[in-house]
Amino acid sequence: MGSGHELAATALDTLPITVAIIDDEGKILLTNRSWREFATAEDDEHVGANYLAAAVTADDEYAEQAVAGIEAVLAGDRDSFSMEYPCHSPDEKRWFLMRVTRFSHNGQRLASLVHLEITERKLAELAAEEHAQQLREERQTVEHVLERVDGLVREVTDAAVSAETRAEIEREVCQRLAATDPYVLAWIGRVDVTNRRLSPHEWASDDDVPLEDDELVLGADDAHPAVQAFERGDTQVIEDVTAHDDADRLWPTGAGDHFQSVAALPLTYGDVTYGVLVVFAAEPDAFDERELLVLESLSGTIATAMNALEVRRMLTTEAVVSVEVAIEDPSLFVTALSETFDATVSYRGPTEDDDGTPLVVLHVDRVLEDVAVETAGIGHDVTPLSTTDDGTLLEAAITDGIVTALSEHGGVIRELAAADGIADLAVDFPDGRSARSAYDFLERRYDQVELLSYHERDEPAQTPHDVTARLESSLTDRQLQALRKAYYANYFEWPRDISGEELAESMDISRSTFHQHLRAAQRKVLAELLE
């Protein structure tokens, strides 16, 4: 080919790509240095060898594709052909781009074969595709989670809002949760404040997952997560019950066979906790941050719905919550007076003096000779109203606020009596929330408070609160004061414990003025009852 051929061959040797020239039969006419070096390393063909014949013998889909493309170019069916193919060694993975281009020289049909290594680009493409696939899978996972969460939130919210009773809320919520993967059991527990126990009230499970058998004791060491959630007021999670030290004690039926993670959430609205929601999952680490946010939102929705039902019930119910407690604290005013007089002191009812100072009417079950002397130093302004064979009637300015505080919680005192250092208190509340809030106040305020009973009882549709509200709006302050003093001092009993003159003196008015106020008040009370 002369000097031109030598120049072309020399130029090809400088290229960092493998190049070969073949004739229309596939025989190699010319190669560059990169081709020869690669061919030596791969024990491949040199000048004079038939490239197509060698490729045909290779049992490889890429070789078949290459032969078909080269033959099409040499036959004139196409001007060029290119393909990418792998050429991996035991030590590394490599990819190449082959490009075949037809040309003529001295009337002979020839083709150039160029092999360019594209390993870096291919690895980058594979990495990008792998990342894209990962993103697609993550997006699908997120979409699935969002779809599940959206459905769960919608169903639980609908169940909570549309329920007519608290038990219905609890039952529907548990069923919705237990039917949602990966949850297998859900229960809602209530607290019995009388015996300090927390126990499941409504529950639902998937695949017969067993429920805890025993009541859970409040205040116990190493307590169940439900107890911890109730007492601490925040979410408690066990990520893997099989690795938990107390799993066999908390779930003796074999927790790991049925569920592997647990979350307990308090159902709290304002300062009232209605119970605890406990959710079990079939797999460990099911309650990640995202899952807990959803459950905490749901627990808030459940508590809000329970509060709405309680408020509605409070407005329409014909029942009240009755609470009876025993208080041991020398600072309680009836207890202090009982210790001072060495007698039983009973609360009759509230009243007030001319300037609005709260007063209470009290009965002492013995005759007091000198009230001023016997009450000196106890911190209460006590005034005798009357004395009978049954004891002494007193009027005292209260300072510790138990009567006012219970009233602010919606409570009506049915009984408050102290003897031997113990005060027995019975109060009616319009709803459970008020009762629990008042009980918390008593526990914070006094040394020892023992809950004796907590139950609902029937009450007429028109409560004393309704009548009192209407009467207080129609009675003057003096009329109401005269009526209260007369009633709590047993003026309407026979024989009377106190005279009208004594009551008038306690109000610092004349006897005739007292009776004028009392008759006016009685007329309005009778009008309320009879008209």
pLDDT by residue (tens digit) across 248-294? 777 766 666 778 899 999 998 877 788 999 999 988 988 888 888 88
Q: Identical fold at 2-117 and 460-531?
A: no
Domain 460-531 annotated CATH 1.10.10: yes
What is the average per-residue pLDDT within 331-346? 89
Is the model more confident about 98 or about 430?
98
Q: Are 345 and 462 in contact (CB under 8 A)?
A: no
Q: Nearest Cα to 421, choosing from 493, 330, 340?
A: 330
Mean pLDDT estimate for the chain: 81
Q: Among candidates 428, 503, 437, which has minimal Cα distance to 465? A: 428
How far apart (Å, rounded) are the C-alpha atoms in residues 217 and 236?
17
pLDDT the model gives residue 237: 93
Find the mean pLDDT for residues 291-299: 86
Q: State the CATH class of domain 2-117.
A: alpha beta
Q: What is the mean pLDDT of residues 56-78?
A: 85
Residue 11 CA, distance from chain mean position:
76
Q: Cα–Cα distance between 110 and 115 in angstroms, integer?
A: 17
pLDDT for 373 equals 67
CATH number, domain 152-316: 3.30.450.40
pLDDT for residue 426: 92
Neighbour-count burial for 191-203, b at 16+ CB within 10 Å, e otherwise: beeeeebbbbbbb
Task: Check if the beta carbon of residue 203 is closer than 8 Å to that of residue 183.
Answer: no
Q: Is the pLDDT of residue 478 over 70?
A: yes
pLDDT digits (tens, 9 = 90+) for 185-215: 899 988 876 677 888 888 888 766 667 666 6
**Residue 507 φ/ψ, nearest 5 degrees:** -95, 0
Residue type at 431 in one-letter notation:
D
Task: Count Cβ atoms below 10 Å from residue 181 Cβ, excluding itself.
Answer: 12
At residue 526 the predicted structure's pLDDT band, cuts being 50, 70 and 90, is confident
Domain range annotation of the chain: 2-117, 152-316, 318-458, 460-531
pLDDT at 145 over 90: no
Task: Give the pLDDT score at 461.
Answer: 42
Torsion sign across C-alpha atoms 73, 77, 79, 81? negative
pLDDT band at 531 (very low <50, low <70, confident <90, very high): low
Give the model's pLDDT for residue 462: 45
Beta strands in 154-217 (DSSP E): 183-192, 197-205, 216-217
Q: What is the pTM of this model?
A: 0.48
CB of 184 closer than 8 Å to CB of 258: yes
